[in-house]
Structure 1
């Protein structure tokens, strides 16, 4: 395939299509988890640190990757797809260190480009980040760390102007183990003069994946105990080839779908060590798993029962696992409690689930095992899910990426037909969700915006006493 030729931001003002899902079918079969969005997008930025070519395999063909490639092309990166999921990038020269304000609010990737651009050309103008509407997600930690490393930063209304005569090592103690701030400091520290120590750093698998890539490029990075990362700066980095980790969020999403629909799904590429905390919770509520030569198989082992979950930084329960799990808990007997400690405004999506019949009550109290940083701040960051409840098909509008799969899962569980709009949010992070779901038995099709609804597909009978092919009996 030819070189990537466009730096234009894809339009997100309207959706090209919507999904129509008929619920009731147990999902059975095998599906492969793509390369992790939250890793791949950072790896793409890391290629700016060297003028030499870098190659990434297992790159998902999703909207978020296209947007980042557009940003890189604008800066001067030559991008060539070698096959469907392998991309070669070479930034021999930065042609423009001012990223277009058209990218302001699109996602949070531009803020990570400051360090690489400072090393390459000594200055940059970066639009302020955006992303899903799940909380404020400030960049204070990022900017404070870069200032401590010698960057001069001028904050403007829609952008940040940075420049330096040279970054130097320092000790940065993060107030919270932010994934984005840790990645930003890593990208700035690997070519800074001297040693940088990042205390209270994030150690998510995606962060470790970035470190592995940087190490292949010639960086010196030690991950020590107590969330401490030590980076010894080097003068230059070289090109490298790297296979990103599989997406643990996508793996957990399909695992939840298998258990919720009482099916049996093998997720190729799923890794137990990346899902350990999720697996414990899945087993407690009635799900089960088996490790296979290619990944992991998920199914329901017993009737679903209520569970208590508190999101946290790795190795805790990931905040992006929360949304499909909430749908799964609507089918569990008893009252489940979910305490969200990462983002203050992540339960807004549950209101549309309630319209489908879910019994979900939100609370400003810390209902987990401990108080969190949102205590007494009037944020509805805890949820009580009572079940089991019968969901009915509805007309749903996706508000953000992770809520998108929760709505798809709710539609798969529900009686009747659901229409899901706002599919662009889901397709930011899930590669070919329609094709993958169809391959494991989902009744899902797509309609172009403005077209009349297709005839209703007969709902599969779930009460005939027979399990579907491969279903857990």
Structure 2
């Protein structure tokens, strides 16, 4: 039955359906070993980068997640031949037949994904035009594309807003420019990199994001022939070149998934070995994990996560890299409901990322969200106008409940809560989770979770 469930959820994700429901009997620790693959936030962007090359690219360590399938279909409708490689978890991407796609096709294949915005620079270089449908994404706050469009205009793109979306053209080609991001946006940094590498002249990007996935994308582009240098204080210089070739690359591991399973071990008093996880890119998370009462053993092939004693309250401030990632706080909050004392999470990246806590309170948690943040606390992260704060008081036993998954990370957090809770929970809309967690049903089985597909 669970194998059928996995197939159903994966098939649903391929066509944009997210209405699947798991019935979970919680209260038992998750124990075992699982393997994680390439980071969603790198793999999808590296796939887009293949558009820039004149020869095929080969990408290794590709996870089987719905976001990858969306990007694959978008590449294919633009004439890129995408095939499975000879080795497992490998894609070969041949851009020799790149062509324009109809607006309706782009809209249909993009679904709720926001990835089409990153096609713009490469398509402007290859075809002189690009189209962005109305963009979706998780309901975690405003994610404006103004940074992207402003940067593209600086490169010389002409932006035209249409009822179906946004059309871009480059009648005079794209040229190097100066871009100063008011906030180190990951997406906007990726946009500048993917556009600047073939632009005529030098581009200076100030206020750049420097996440490990960004650095891995820079490594991909350098393999293709790009000239990119990183300078202090979030400055990246890109010298445009005339042509790029394909690449062969092993994608960086998904640190978001690794942290999620670590939090699951902490919340359920389990013991999970996450194969493929690396210490260097998780050091900020590991510090907080240890402060909260977690233990971890670093091995060459992964990291073992478990409880090292009674859970302790912590204060967390989310921030851009090298700070504590916003994607890490949601799974961690579930574990903090079992800590003795008062924990505080300051969310400074998105303005609406605590909506998932309503379900946790329904299950017995004591979480108070402060929509305007908290004043008067010593801070290392500068306060932002949009920030919120969550105060988690524990320990509070969780009990089963009916839950609807709201978004990717919040949805996985709801899974952790249901697995932690005593009794039975019905978790609906779990198909969203397949956007960023590869074969999560199989992994739950490997860890001994007790669940079935609701008939």
- TM superposition score category, shorter chain reference: over 0.9
Which residue of the partner structure matches residue 53 of structure 2? Answer: 50
Q: Is the 8 A contact 2:26 2:450 kept in 1?
A: yes
Do structure 1's residue 167 and structure 2's residue 150 form an aligned pair?
no
Partner of 2:96 in structure 1?
92
Q: Is 83-92 or 310-319 further displaced after alignment?
A: 83-92
Cα-to-partner distance string for 1:393-440 (whole Å, 9 max, x where unaligned): 111110100011101110111001111111111011101111112112
| 1:84, distance to aligned residue in structure 2 (A) | 4.1
| Whole-angstrom CA distance in 2 between matches of 1:316 and 1:366 | 18
* Contact 1:9–1:70 (CA under 8 A) maintained in structure 2: no
Provide the residue aligned with 2:70 in structure 1: 67
Tell me the equivalent position of 1:123.
129
Q: For 2:157, which of 151, 159, 182 is the aligned residue?
A: 151
Q: TM-score w.r.t. structure 2 length?
A: 0.93
Matched residues in 2 for 1:203 and 1:329: separation?
28
The offset of 1:371, in angstroms, is 5.2
Gaps of at least 5 residues in structure 2 are: 1-11
Distance 1:155 1:9 in 2: 30
Q: Number of matched residues? A: 436
Q: Which runs of 5+ in 1 are unaligned?
A: 1-7, 452-473
Worse-superposed segment, 229-238 or 28-37:
28-37
Q: State how far apart, in whole Å, the 2-side matches of 1:259 and 1:322 are.
A: 13
Deviation at 1:252, TM superposition (A): 0.3
Distance across 1 between alignment mates of 2:417 and 2:25? 11
Distance 1:340 1:32 in 2: 29
Q: Secondary structure at the match of 1:313?
A: coil
Residues 59-82 of structure 1, C-alpha deviation per residue, up to 9 Å, x if partnerless? 111111111111111111111112
**Is residue 325 from structure 1 mapped to residue 329 from structure 2 by the alignment?**
no
In the other structure, the counterpart of 1:353 is: 360
Give the aligned partner of residue 16 of structure 2: 12
Distance 1:86 1:13 in 2: 26
Task: Note the alpha carbon deviations across 1:146-201, whole angstroms, 9 max, x for none.
Answer: 11111111123441111112111111000000000000000000011111111010
TM-score (norm 1): 0.89
Find the partner of 1:387 among 390, 394, 400.
Answer: 394
Query: How many Å separate the matches in 1 of 2:164 and 2:330?
Result: 31
Change in 2 beyond 3 A, CA 1:98/1:115: farther
Q: Is the 8 A contact 2:18 2:432 kept in 1?
A: no
Question: Do 2:100 and 2:127's aligned partners in 1 also have CA atoms closer than 8 Å?
Answer: no
The one of 5, 26, 33 equivalent to 2:36 is 33
From 181, 184, 207, give the equivalent of 2:188. Answer: 181
Does residue 373 (structure 1) correspond to residue 384 (structure 2)? The answer is: yes
Quick check: 1:225 aligned with 2:245?
Answer: no
Residues 31, 13 of structure 1: alpha-carbon distance in 2 compared, 3 angstrom cutoff = closer
Q: CA deviation at 1:366?
A: 2.6
The worse-fitting range, judged by mean Cα deviation, of 256-265 and 240-249 is 256-265
Structure 1 residues 316-465: aligned runs within 5 Å: 316-367=323-374, 369=379, 372-374=383-385, 381-447=388-454, 451=455
Give the Cα–Cα distance (whole angstroms) in 1 for the partners of residues 178 and 156 of structure 2: 12
Determine the structure 2 residue equivalent to 1:133.
139
The two structures, once aligned, show a CA RMSD in angstroms of 1.7
